[in-house]
Amino acid sequence: MTETTPSAAPISVTDRGAIRVIAVNRPDKLNALNAATLDALHTAFDAAADDPAVRVVVLTGTGPKAFVAGADIAEMNSLTPVQGRDFSLRGTRMMRRVERMPKPVIAMVNGFALGGGLELAMCCHLRIAADTAKVGQPEINLGLIPGFGGTQRLLRLAGRAATLELCLTGAPIDAARAAQLGIVNRVVPAAELEAETMKLAEQFATAAPLALRGMIDCINIGGECGIEEGLEFESAQFGLVFSTQDMREGTSAFLERRKPEFKGA
C-alpha cells in the first residue's frame, strides 16, 4: 500500500496494487467540498486515468461520519451570482471527469452523502453504502438548488417521483431506501464496507481493462442519446475489442478451460 499525498492535502491518494483509493480528507469539515478540494479531485482523477498501473478507483471520505456532507457552505455564503455559477461549473466539470473515467470508479459511501456529497457519489459508476449511511439533497433548506448535477443524475437513477421528493423536501433517506430507489447498488454492514468494496474493486482489477472501458463508454453514451445511436456505438465498440490481445486471451482461456490473464492490450 503506497500513500502518495501529504496528510494536510484536501484529498489523500493511496495505491493498493492496481486499486487507487482517493479519499476526501477534510474530516473536521465532514469532508465538505470547497474549490480547492474540487480542483484536487479533478487532478487526482486525471492522474488515475493516465496511469496504466491503475485499473480501478475507489472514492471515499476520511473519518467515521461522512463520505462528503455537502459543498462548503462557509465558502458559498459570500459568493456573487457569477461566482456561484462558476463554482457550480467547477464542480460539474470535476464530476463529469469522474463519470467519464475510462476505468471503473466505486463510491464507498461510509457516512453522510448529502448535497454535493450525493452528487459526487452519483457520478461514480457504482455505489456501495454502509447500512448507517444517509443520503439526500438538502439544498432547499439553504435556499439553494443542487448545483453539481444532482437534479439530473438523481432523475436518471431514481426517476421523477423520487427526485422531486428528495429535492423538494430536502429530507435525507437511509441506505436501505436509497438502494430500493436505485441510488446505491449495494448496502452492507458498516464494519464490512471496506472489505466488500475492495472485493469488488479486486474483481475489476483483474478484468479486461479495455472491455471495461468499452462498456462504460457504451452505457454513458446510451444514457445520453437515442437507442439507434446507442446501438450503433455499441456495435462499433464491440468490433473494436476484436483488435485487442485481451479478447484473444479471454476467448482462448474459455476454450482451454483456464483462467484468463488480461494485460490491457
Contact yes or no for 146/129 (Cβ under 8 A): no
Per-residue pLDDT tens over the stretch 186-215: 999 999 999 999 999 999 999 999 999 999
CATH 3.90.226.10 domain position(s) in the chain: 2-205
Has residue 7 got a pLDDT over 90? no
Whether domain 209-255 has CATH 2.40.160: no
Give me the half-sphere count of Cα atoms (radius 13 Å) on the Cβ side of residue 176: 3
Has 228 been annotated as catalytic? Answer: no
Selecting among 119, 165, 194, 234, the annotated active-site residue is 119
| SS3 sequence of 61-115 | ECCCCEEECCECHHHHCCCCHHHHHHHHHHHHHHHHHHHCCCCCEEEEECCEEEC
Q: How confident is the model at residue 2 (pLDDT cuts 50, 70, 90)?
A: low
**CATH number, domain 2-205:** 3.90.226.10
Average pLDDT over residues 70-90: 94
Task: Give the sheet arrangement for strand 173-174, strand by strand.
Answer: 66-68, 112-114, 134-136, 173-174
Q: What is the pTM of this model?
A: 0.93
CATH 1.10.12 domain position(s) in the chain: 209-255
Cell reading at 88: 457550480
Helix, strand or coil for residue 4?
A: coil
Average pLDDT over residues 221-241: 94
Has 139 been annotated as catalytic? Answer: yes
Selecting among 3, 75, 139, 232, the annotated active-site residue is 139
Has residue 113 got a pLDDT over 60? yes
Q: What is the pLDDT of residue 8?
A: 72
Cell reading at 224: 445520453
Which residues have a Cβ under 8 Å from the Cβ of 264 and sit 6 or more positions away? 52, 55, 208, 209, 210, 246
Based on DSSP, count helices (H) and strands (E) in the chain, helices before strands.
11, 11
Cell reading at 159: 426517476
Per-residue pLDDT tens over the stretch 129-138: 999 999 999 9
